Amino acid sequence: MTITESTATDVASRDQLRLVIAGSVDDGKSTLVGRLLHDTKSILADQFEATLHASQGRGATEIDLALLTDGLRAEREQGITIDVAYRYFATPRRSFVLADTPGHVQYTRNTVTGASTADAAVVLVDVRGGVSAQTRRHAAVLSLLRVPHVVFAINKMDAVDWSEERFAQVADDVRDVAARVGLSTPEILPISALTGENVAAPGPDWYAGLSLLSVLEELPTRIADVDEPFRLPVQLVIRPRTTEHPDYRGLAGRVASGSLNVGDTVTAYPSGSSSVVVGIDGATGEQSRATVGDSVTVRLADELDVARGEVLATTVPIRTTQQLDAVLTWLDERPPTPRQRVLVKAGTKTTRAMLGVTQGVWNVDELCWQDSSAPLQLNDIGRVSVQLAEPVAVDDYADHRATGAFVVIDPDTGATLAAGLTGADLGALTTP
């Protein structure tokens, strides 16, 4: 049975991996995305025919898989959209949600968006040019966002006749970059997105490792989230007050990490009030246990004064604070002004806040923190202290991705100004 013949139930039951592909605009990202869709039979026949026809119209003798993503590229160039495009493909072993992000440096913010929820990332490097500034920037962003698995794919190997010596040179440079931003033992492999060698098909004789698709199939998913301390940001307090449910009161939200059982004692933060779980209601009815990813309503033995924005935790408490010492990736074309008033959204809580001065900027070229109090510019990564009007419950991002991140919002326009990570850092190096 081919992928296209599989039933929706088959695909839905497969293990899922959220994937982001990063790389400079000339490193072959569009071709790799098209190659993955093509080789896993995840494109429709009419899409294939249209792409083949367009390729032939440009004088090509074979299909140009990069054209599969040209519609989105045209939209970006016209300013219609600069958002992340999500694409879906599957193999008999796993389904994938692929975040297709632009390669231009001005769209680094889109890479941040795509990587923030990714289980794994593929960073493309053109073997002819080797490591570029954009490679270093993407490696830094992926390290900052604690993406669990990062694979560096050295692309366009066919253009250097699959030179093992050239691959080894670029791989050494990649390892140096990875070490300096704190990415431990990343997978590095040679590919040709153009010909498909070592993407789904076998690689050269001198390469003993797995193909890119096989590597992606074997990466572990985020099972560890189940073993992390329980966190549930409260989205809604449900009190129907109907004849059928006159006394019903539940705290609804999505489990961000860990698990919860009926009988557990939970504490709501920042308020600090505690009670015992007497019931958990899910989409199909009452259940005895909830784990990461479940959207549930938790019923407690006591009527705690808990509202949207609080976070339920069990044995390991979550930190409450009115000051976030954070790393910001600045996403707005206008730099921040001194003591700029903003909104901060952490989990399900939104509060007024004021930005502090910049306390350092990550130098992408030197791969180190540098002292600087200058306002952050678009795509800059810097350390900034944020003063909040109300306390929020947060973890260090290194410990919990879901409860350690926040966004900075313009209160007048609603635009996202920055992505913030609490207590985050890049690698161990702080000096050039």
Tokens 């968006």 belong to residue: 113
Average of per-residue pLDDT values in the chain? 84
pTM: 0.77
- pLDDT of 12 reads 52
Note whether 16-221 and 319-422 share their fold: no
Q: Which of 5-9, 58-62, 163-167, 255-259 has the highest mean pLDDT?
A: 163-167
What local confidence, expressed as pLDDT, does residue 78 receive? 46
pLDDT digits (tens, 9 = 90+) for 249-276: 999 999 998 999 999 999 999 999 999 9
Least confident of 6-10, 21-25, 102-106, 343-347: 6-10
Locate tokens 């952050």: which residue? 376
Instruction: Using DSSP bridges, classify how beta strands 149-155 and 231-238 pair: parallel, antiparallel or unpaired.
Output: unpaired
Paired tokens of 369? 């923190």
Q: DSSP of 200-253, one letter per residue?
A: TB---TT--S--HHHHHHHS--STHHHHSPPEEEEEEEE----SSSTT--EEEE
We find that the CATH architecture of domain 225-313 is Beta Barrel (2.40)
343-378 pLDDT, tens per residue?
A: 999 999 999 999 998 999 988 777 788 888 899 998
Reported as a pLDDT band with limits 50, 70 and 90, residue 104 is low
pLDDT in tens, 288-298: 999 988 999 99
Return the bridge partners of 368, or none.
Answer: 363
Residue that has been written with the tokens 């990587």 in this structure = 115
Determine how many CB atoms are found less than 10 A away from the CB of residue 429: 15
In this prediction, residue 1 has a pLDDT band, given cuts at 50, 70 and 90, of: very low
CATH of domain 16-221: 3.40.50.300
Average pLDDT over residues 138-160: 91
Local confidence band at 23 (pLDDT 50, 70, 90 cut-offs):
confident
Top CATH class, 319-422 = mainly beta
Per domain, the residue ranges of the chain are 16-221, 225-313, 319-422
The three-point CA angle 23-24-27 to 5° equals 80
Peptide bond before 270: cis, by omega within 30 degrees of 0?
A: yes
Say if CB 342 and CB 371 are below 8 A apart. no
Q: What value does the mean pLDDT take over residues 312-325? A: 93
Q: What was the pLDDT predicted at 150?
A: 94
pLDDT band (50, 70, 90) for residue 14 = low
pLDDT at 76: 46
Q: Is a pLDDT exceeding 60 seen at residue 75?
A: no
